[in-house]
Amino acid sequence: MDAVELAVTAVRVWLGVVMVAHGLNHARSLDGTAKWFGKVGFKLPRRQAQVSAFGEVTIGASLVAGFLTSFGAFGLIAIVSVAFWSIHRFAGLFVFNRPDEGYEYVATLALAALALAAIGPGPVSVDAALGIADELDGWVGLGVAALGVLAAAAQLVLFWRRPED
């Protein structure tokens, strides 16, 4: 494994660990997460909390394993795009702008996921072991991952309204 392959693997695994941890945190405090989803304008807040927790854990596990990596990147981009549009964009760039927190964190996750989808999962991945890593990276990976923005837009159109201030 060369330095680039090691770096790609480290980024992929770390993105996965972050998503799994985020999802487990949502699952652990599902009632609070649902209440928060309702407060920020989501319809069916309990269902949104459940889907969010399950999605984050599943996406994270996919990235840790390097299994269907472009689709994991798609999911990560979808989740952070929803977070950006519904919460973080109102606070500006910096994450320390309370109470809503800025978008630097979610934008960084989205761009890292997009780069990972284009580069591929690295040699230590299920995708590589299955011989599909090269089929799902490059332009195909970018395309699949970028569709996460469309998935986010669909969720926002169907389930979110900016709450009245």
Among 27-36, 44-53, 81-90, 95-104, where is mean pLDDT lowest? 95-104
Residue count of the chain:
165
- Alpha-carbon distance of 18 to 75, in angstroms, equals 13
> 17: buried, middle or exposed (CB in 10 Å: 19+, 13-18, 0-12)?
middle
pLDDT of residue 99: 66
- Please give the average per-residue pLDDT across 88-99, as a whole number: 79
- Please give the average per-residue pLDDT across 31-35, as a whole number: 96
Instruction: Please provide the average confidence, as pLDDT, over all residues in the chain.
Output: 94
What token pair was written down for 24? 């487990």
For residue 146, give the DSSP letter: H
- Please give the average per-residue pLDDT across 138-157, as a whole number: 95
